Structure 1
Amino acid sequence: MKKTAVFLMLATAAVLPGCKSQETAEDIKTSEEMTANVQNNPLMKKSGNKHGIESFDKITVNDYRDAANVGMRKEKERINAIVANTAAPTFENTINAMDKAGAELDRALMTFSPLSSSNSTAELRDLQKELSPLLSAHSDDIYMNRQLFDKVKKVYDEMDSTVLTHEQMKATEKIYKAFLRSGANLSDADQQKLRELNQKISALQIQFSQNLLAETNNTYVTVDRLSDLEGLPESNIQRAAQMAEEQGAKGKWMFNMQRASCNPVLQYCKNRELRRKVYEAYCNRGNQANDRNNKEISAELVRLRLERAHLMGFKTSAAQILDTRMAKTPEAVYNLLDQIWTPAVKKANEEIEDIRTEMKKDGLTCEPEGWDYMYYSERARKAKFNFDEEKLSEYLEINNVLKGVFYTANKLYGVTFKDVTAELPVYEKTANAWEVYDRDSTLLAVFYSDYYPRDGKGAGAWCTSFRGQQYDGDKRVEPIVVNVCSMTPPSADRPALQSIDNVETMFHEFGHALHSFMRDVHYNAVSGVERDFVELPSQINEHWAFAPEVLAVYAKHYKTGEPMPKELLDKYSSCSKYGQGFATVEYLAASYVDMDLHVLEDVPADLDVMAFEAQKLSERGIPRQIRPRYSVTNFKHTMGGGYTAGYYSYIWAEVLDCDAFDAFVETGDIFNQDVAARFRKYILTPGGIDDGMTMYRNFRGADPKIDGLLRKRGLK
């Protein structure tokens, strides 16, 4: 779904390798065996395919294993050479040498990681578990190497007196601080303890994610009678019948916990009991009495993260994590969330009154429950605004929506797209590929879209890469970027018609892709940005999704090809903020729980994460009909890693994206070329060569204001 995790990767894929100073006979034997495999391993020889893209169908699980192990070994050798170099440490022989040392390992992991998330198999999941401790130890070896740290520190201490570029100075600073955060200054005993904690945390995060994947794709609600599906669109009924047949239950209807499967039931199905079953099955993922239960894993992760924070000199996990983010402190995060919580709860309670009114029309006098919200909210929206989202979706066929996505990128930045699906290897038959060309016709990137749900694909949507932007000497090497989503697939009688949320998701994830296309840096160390800045490029791109100028290009009726009538667009515009109370509260609730768990200064031995969640939200006065967007046991963002103490990042970045979009609106032209050029120059291109707030001020000329966010969500 939208804003869920963008960049969903193997938990350990971002590590930088380390070194060991001793080699055993077994090490040498293993090295010889691996070297013998290089000739036949697609990941260990130059690809002959266009753009150097891997031949996905030729890569085996053993190829991934061998390539990762060879990559670690080669990096050890290069790191050892840096340490052994008797010349005075310089940027080139220390920082740049480290930055480039892991090319083979990066290649292996940047192929393995995306596929283990989108095309997961039992063998790939086993390999994730196998590699996790090795990669964790590999990272610790480098960052706890005091001899190496001494060299890095010398370059860092002297960089102001040397002739380094701004980018080189930032790369040096980031690598130096990475050593500090990773325990380079700890005693031998504490380093060993940190190694153990890192390995345990990494393994538990992978186990959590794999449990959740299984719960999402293999938890089903089965319906025996067609009459129980009253109100559900025919296309969804057909897909449910197909799912049942695939599961050996021909003649029945089944729904798993992928959003594309279960959300239409909650939104359209008249059968209240069926809605309850689906809602509870979705909310309780990871909290069932089975071998995929994530409660204890979550509690243990909270404990271990706090123990690691204490070891590093921080009072809480959140304090340690936020030290490198724009927010800097937990207090700054809570300050933002608190500003939005009160108006959001007020708006949500108004929406609940509308739901009560609609329920009374059905003769229901009971209090609304969570499984009533989407269904009766849709009814209330129709009653208030005479708007039917299903009618709107008839104009939102997925290929046309993608034309709108491409059109927006072209109007803003001048980029063009050439379909090369037939020319490039694809890892999934429903994926498509494009070459992306810049305004001056130079090749900018390669883009893959992977839009439909399937077994083995994680829930939600994300942007990842098979190759990041890099340089080979003076030549810029184009990135290979992938958008992975779980959109509504076609049915027997309809093409793939999308919901409003799905359309925004496509624009959102493509905003991440644009960021990856346009990044232009020379060092891996400065390729990334702060977690609470990374959603700015994606979220601002959503603002164009339903702009009339863009809809005129892509919103065509799937049968007639006629453009969306102004009357329907006006109805959507009038009600577009309806339901934002619920959406904002469920998002903020998850953000609060994420923070609350990670600001603990002491974790009870008997911590029950679900009871903790319920207590904290009750204290804040959350309406009883609303649960967090993710409960702890299915909260992959925080428990699977990546957005730990960081789920607030979406709303933090939304302050930025709404204020940034106002820069376009203020000119009277949402495609204003001067503003677009500034956004590209200061936000999309620089990677992490400056901190996020500096880049934002460079673009906007001022600090962001919260007003735009409150207006967008109808809270002001």
Structure 2
Amino acid sequence: MRKAIPFLMLAVLISACNNSKETKLNDDDNMSERSNPLLVESTLPYYAPDFSKIKDEDFEPAMLEGIAQQKKAIDEITSNPEEPTFENTVVALEKSGELLDRSSQIFGALGSANTNDALQAIDDRMAPKFAAQQDAIYLNDKLFQRFKTLYNKRESLNLDPESLKLLENYYEDFEIAGANLSAEDKKTLSDYNGRLATLTTKFGKTLLAANNAGAVTFNDKEELAGVSEDVLKSRANEDGKGWTIPLQNTTQQPLLQSMDNRASREKLFKAAWMRADGGANDTRDLVKEIVELRAQKAKLLGFDNYAAWSLQKTMAKTPAHVNKFFEGLIPAGTAKAQAESDEIQKMIKAQGEDFTLEPWDWNYYAEMVRKEKYDLDEEQIKPYFELKTVLEKGVFFAATQLYGITFKERTDIPVYQDDVLVYELFEENGDQLGLFYADFFARPSKRGGAWMSNFVTQSKLYNKKPVIYNVCNFPKPSDGNPALLTFDEVTTMFHEFGHALHGFFADQQYPSLSGTSVARDFVEFPSQFNENWALYPEVLKNYAVHYETGEQIPQELISKIKKSGTFNQGYSITENLASSNLDMQWHTIPSTKKIDDVDAFEKEALHKTKLDVVHAVPPRYRSTYFAHIFAGGYAAGYYSYLWTEMLDHDAYNWFEENGGMTRENGQRFRDMVLSRGNTQDLEKMYKAWRGADPKIGPLLKARGLK
């Protein structure tokens, strides 16, 4: 929990790990026999965490000591008899949580990517403490009054632009957090925050258990007809009896695309759809309590609903603006989805089948349509996308072409799991830039999805360069086989490294303004923009080589990939809009409304926005397993993926208009966008670089919706 991270991102920090079981720390662990490595800075390059020394039992005492140190620092600020100054108040608060920052960033990383019973139990205990600590800062009236004094005379302080932004950012966070409330209301708000911290952590823990328990076992090989032998080998049970298919976070499951047996497809789909309905892993009561508490919190803070409160520091600003954005996409998206549905239904009949298209059929028959229309088979493509080649000769190569940076693999840096790769990054002139960790393969101890974060955040205040990690959930190949990717997985690698670049190019004095510490509806822009280079000719020909022969991918296959780029986009954008709409509907509930039935609410929310018109297109996430909004930092913010996609396509349009992938264009983008962190108004920053406000047209064109 970095002390100065924007208040609205607290949910990301207090739900650092999704857990499935509770245990107590081993009472036999004797901390007195060894020093806690988290209590001192690492001696590794870039202050990288020394995973050869860190043990699970180190985290809780380190984070508790970090909280204690920060409380002491805040007491010193508020008891200072001198008039508040930028140094003795703003900078002092910015520096108040160094130990807490260091220990909780590492804890959050392991809790998400490599959790276990001990870490899950620690997360349960620490989540309300993190929330209480945040309240101890932002609901501290003496501290707020010092900031208010400085804020009111900010124009006369002669601060440099970044320092002024830091002061303004803190003051806004105090106000948003409830600093102006009465003492009684602050107590109520603290109770809400603590309870929400506990509930969102429990949601993540329950969902991880639901995902694991929901894995589907097939005992007859005929049930998995169409699934590749490599996948079968990797999913075979240890006792040699049957195959177990784990669930991905999303509604649709990747294997549905290749499963010939319709009954098996239905079985796998329904396991995913119903994973958190009923039994020990039912999340519906958690959903109801979370949204009701958030609505009460918003009312206490003077807002009509949680979304109105949450969106204050975003580009969209209000729920009305988000809904207007949806209105510009829903008609075109659902119309395209209906046309796709009709086309798939014809394919079903052409195969001699007589049934109505259902969600579990979509990907299977859509793949047939794609093969027929574009003659494109994923199995033809995958041999050209070997994971490490994609990373080094694709993702890294594109970054070198655009930004001049270079990469060197490091095998001497300790990692938390054997699969993790480590690279050192260098500037064009040879200066050190940072350290990058890549953790690509799925495992039961890792939550679903893909993400980027920091072990160490860039800041000139501490003279630190960034240490950043990417995490994905690609299927791990069976022993001896190469890791071959689908093109979607290739795109994911480019996406997550776009986040990493945003962090690596940070050039801030203060850690709380550094790199990716920006609004949710801007933070996905650099990552989605970076996806564009996956198919850029100069990049593609460098990495898309056959893993056995070394031959470049044939132009014929490249053409097929590009031509199929708008295929199934009606489905894709509609499932996204459905989830984005659910998020906004849940978080615009007024405090006077009580939700009795989660399923009924979800059904009505989709119906009234006409996102249920295509029967076979379900939401990308149902409410019961929507971790982004109920266990992460995206409550009232899932729309940001589509919002930033608008920025992404508009930005790539600028590159196309100005010569494409050139060092000059890359440097300009780095200097004016990627290196700025949260030091400027985001709308003004974008417009200064682009020369105009973003337009939705390039997004619609890229999606094939116009």
Residue equivalent to 1:670: 660
Residue equivalent to 1:529: 518
Residue equivalent to 2:159: 164
Deviations 1:111-145 (A, max 9, x none): 10010000111111111010111111111112111
Matched, 1:412 2:399: no
Residue equivalent to 2:261: 271
- Aligned counterpart in structure 1 of residue 285 of structure 2, from 271, 296, 300: 296
1:710 is aligned with what amino acid? L
| CA 566–464 in structure 1, closer or farther in 2 if over 3 Å, else same | same
Moved more, 256-265 or 164-173: 256-265
Residue equivalent to 2:318: 329
- Aligned counterpart in structure 2 of residue 214 of structure 1, from 183, 193, 209: 209
Residue equivalent to 1:481: 468
Moved more, 156-165 or 491-500: 491-500
Deviations 1:566-601 (A, max 9, x none): 011111111111010100000000000100111112
Distance 2:688 2:626 in 1: 35
The answer for unaligned runs of 5 or more in structure 2 is 1-8, 16-30
Residue equivalent to 2:299: 310
Distance 1:218 1:592 in 2: 28
User: Percent identity among equivalent residues?
Assistant: 38
Deviations 1:388-415 (A, max 9, x none): 1221111111111102000000000001
Deviations 1:121-176 (A, max 9, x none): 11111110101111111111121111111111111111101120000000000111
* Aligned counterparts, 1:239-638, within 5 A: 239-241=234-236, 244-245=237-238, 249-258=239-248, 263-287=253-277, 289-403=278-392, 404-420=394-410, 422-472=411-461, 476-492=463-479, 494-527=481-514, 528-602=517-591, 604-621=593-610, 622=612, 623-638=614-629
Residue equivalent to 1:641: 632
Q: Provide the secondary structure at the position in 2 that maps to 1:269.
A: coil
2:512 is aligned with what amino acid? A
Distance 1:501 1:235 in 2: 19
Deviation at 1:604, TM superposition (A): 3.8
Deviation at 1:216, TM superposition (A): 1.8
2:152 is aligned with what amino acid? D
Say if 1:10 and 1:117, in contact at 8 Å, map to a contact too.
no
Residue equivalent to 2:642: 651
Distance 2:372 2:492 in 1: 27
2:641 is aligned with what amino acid? Y
Distance 2:579 2:595 in 1: 22
Distance 1:271 1:61 in 2: 44
Residue equivalent to 2:56: 61
Deviation at 1:492, TM superposition (A): 4.7
Deviation at 1:251, TM superposition (A): 2.7
- Aligned counterpart in structure 2 of residue 707 of structure 1, from 676, 694, 697: 697
- Aligned counterpart in structure 2 of residue 85 of structure 1, from 57, 80, 84: 80
Say if 2:422 and 2:437, in contact at 8 Å, map to a contact too.
yes
Q: Provide the secondary structure at the position in 2 that maps to 1:409.
A: helix
Q: Provide the secondary structure at the position in 2 that maps to 1:394.
A: helix
Say if 1:12 and 1:136, in contact at 8 Å, map to a contact too.
no
1:72 is aligned with what amino acid? I
* Aligned counterparts, 1:153-192, within 5 A: 153-192=148-187
| CA 500–131 in structure 1, closer or farther in 2 if over 3 Å, else same | same
Deviations 1:500-534 (A, max 9, x none): 11111000000000000001111133221111000
* Aligned counterparts, 1:70-219, within 5 A: 70-219=65-214
Q: Provide the secondary structure at the position in 2 that maps to 1:463.
A: strand
Q: Provide the secondary structure at the position in 2 that maps to 1:576.
A: helix
Q: Provide the secondary structure at the position in 2 that maps to 1:193.
A: helix
Say if 2:401 and 2:662, in contact at 8 Å, map to a contact too.
no
Distance 1:442 1:136 in 2: 39
Distance 2:695 2:33 in 1: 55
Say if 1:397 and 1:495, in contact at 8 Å, map to a contact too.
yes
Deviations 1:639-667 (A, max 9, x none): 11301000000110111110101111112
Say if 1:656 and 1:704, in contact at 8 Å, map to a contact too.
yes
Distance 1:330 1:605 in 2: 20
Say if 2:38 and 2:62, in contact at 8 Å, map to a contact too.
yes
Aligned CA-pair RMSD: 1.8
Say if 2:47 and 2:456, in contact at 8 Å, map to a contact too.
no
Distance 1:10 1:255 in 2: 34
2:179 is aligned with what amino acid? A
Deviation at 1:208, TM superposition (A): 0.5
Say if 2:450 and 2:496, in contact at 8 Å, map to a contact too.
yes
| CA 283–85 in structure 1, closer or farther in 2 if over 3 Å, else same | same
| CA 48–316 in structure 1, closer or farther in 2 if over 3 Å, else same | same
| CA 204–60 in structure 1, closer or farther in 2 if over 3 Å, else same | same
Deviations 1:293-344 (A, max 9, x none): 1101011111000000000000011100011111001111011111111111
Deviation at 1:439, TM superposition (A): 1.4
Deviation at 1:365, TM superposition (A): 1.8
Number of corresponding residues: 678
Say if 1:682 and 1:699, in contact at 8 Å, map to a contact too.
yes
Deviation at 1:10, TM superposition (A): 8.7
Distance 1:583 1:221 in 2: 25
Residue equivalent to 1:18: none
Say if 1:322 and 1:645, in contact at 8 Å, map to a contact too.
yes
Q: Provide the secondary structure at the position in 1 that maps to 2:280.
A: coil
Matched, 1:48 2:35: no
TM-score normalized by structure 2?
0.93
